[in-house]
Structure 1
Amino acid sequence: MTTDSSTYEEVTIFLVDDDDVDVMGVQRALRKLKILNPVVRAHDGLEALELLRNPSTVKRPYIILLDLNMPRMNGFEMLTELRQDKALASSVVFVLTTSKADEDKVEAYQHNVAGYIVKNKVGEDFMGLIEMLDRYWRVVELPAQPTGSKK
């Protein structure tokens, strides 16, 4: 996709997933599509919140790709904490999970996620997901400042 580079704002991809294979799949798809956006990874919700609360670690704007089933703090617990934190509440989150359960989809959307993506629908190489995200962050305006912050 061709874009005027003067208007393109780099978006950090924040992967919150304990599955190394899935993370490698996303990274491989980024390389194949020649997408050079920074990628930051957390292995669970606790680590993710810690990184998000340190602005030098995960730079805004960012998109979070969040797995639901993780140790220590799962995706729903992280979403609850994220939405209650004024500085993080506006974070754009896509759930990326193996769960096809309707109750998980409903709960995720009740936490205001931007999308719910089932990993086996994405495919082994994650190309469709990355192409969709590339179009998404080039079209939508993402918050560059935390909720309540002023430039």
Structure 2
Amino acid sequence: MMEGYRTSEILLVEDNPGYVRLMMEALDESKVPNNLSVVTDGVEALDFLHRKGKYANAPRPDLILLDLKLPRKSGQEVLEEIKNDPDLKRVPVVVLTVSSAEKDILKSYNLHANCYIIKPIDLDQFIAIVKQVIEFWFTIVSLPPR
């Protein structure tokens, strides 16, 4: 289903400013109208999702892009909390991380990640993958209503 009619809300949980910039570039090049919110650690991610404090008016994301290696609370702890929350568990979570460790992949899927993508080292490849992920989730998949 091509959305086109509304802007897609994307939450990026990433502490590396370089990856944040690349993500913004990829989303700018994407055909999907989107609004990107960025938080840089696991505690902030959960505050955003629970609309606490300075995030009281945060939009409900249609998709969460989650790094695993985060300060204060790991990506897997964030994933576990999202998937155990009746209000958040339907929001797709794409793990986007440098870890290719089998234990991280298994644990992420056991915690109900919707997919696990290892960040490519090549910058152009990274941008291409992000564009493919966004176009997949927002032009092919039928997402749950907000």
TM-score interval (norm. to shorter):
0.7 to 0.9
Cα distance in 1 for partners of 2:135, 2:9 equals 11
Task: Check 1:84–1:132 CA distance in 2 against 1; reply closer, same or farther (3 A cut).
Answer: closer
Cα distance in 2 for partners of 1:13, 1:130 equals 13
Contact 1:100 1:118 in 2 (8 A): yes
Contact 2:32 2:134 in 1 (8 A): no
Higher relative contact order (CA 8 A, sep 6+): 2
Cα distance in 2 for partners of 1:24, 1:102 equals 28
The aligned length equals 139
Cα distance in 1 for partners of 2:140, 2:128 equals 19
Quick check: 1:101 aligned with 2:98? no
Aligned counterpart, 2:72 = 72
Shift of 1:4: 7.4
Aligned counterpart, 1:59 = 60
Task: Check 1:90–1:33 CA distance in 2 against 1; reply closer, same or farther (3 A cut).
Answer: closer
Cα distance in 2 for partners of 1:115, 1:50 equals 23
| Structure with more of its chain in helix, by fraction | 2
Consecutive aligned runs of 4 or more in structure 1 exceeding 6 Å deviation = none
102-111 or 31-40, larger mean C-alpha shift: 31-40
Summarize the alignment of residues 5-16 of structure 1 with structure 2, pairs less than 5 Å apart.
Answer: 5=4, 8-16=5-13
Shift of 1:70: 0.7
27-36 or 99-108, larger mean C-alpha shift: 27-36
Segments of 5+ residues of structure 1 without an aligned counterpart are 146-151
Cα distance in 2 for partners of 1:128, 1:115 equals 13
Give the % identical residues: 32
What SS is found at the alignment partner of 1:29?
A: helix
Shift of 1:33: 3.2
Aligned CA RMSD, in angstroms, stands at: 1.9
Task: Check 1:36–1:69 CA distance in 2 against 1; reply closer, same or farther (3 A cut).
Answer: same
Q: Which of residues 3, 6, 23 is equivalent to 1:26? A: 23
Give CA-to-partner distance per residue, 1:48-90, whole Å, 9 cap, x none.
1111112731234x11000000110010111111122211111
Structure 1 length normalisation: TM-score? 0.82
Task: Check 1:118–1:89 CA distance in 2 against 1; reply closer, same or farther (3 A cut).
Answer: same
Cα distance in 1 for partners of 2:138, 2:15 equals 24
Aligned counterpart, 1:138 = 139
Structure 2 length normalisation: TM-score? 0.85
Q: Which amino acid aligns with 1:137?
A: F
Cα distance in 2 for partners of 1:39, 1:102 equals 30
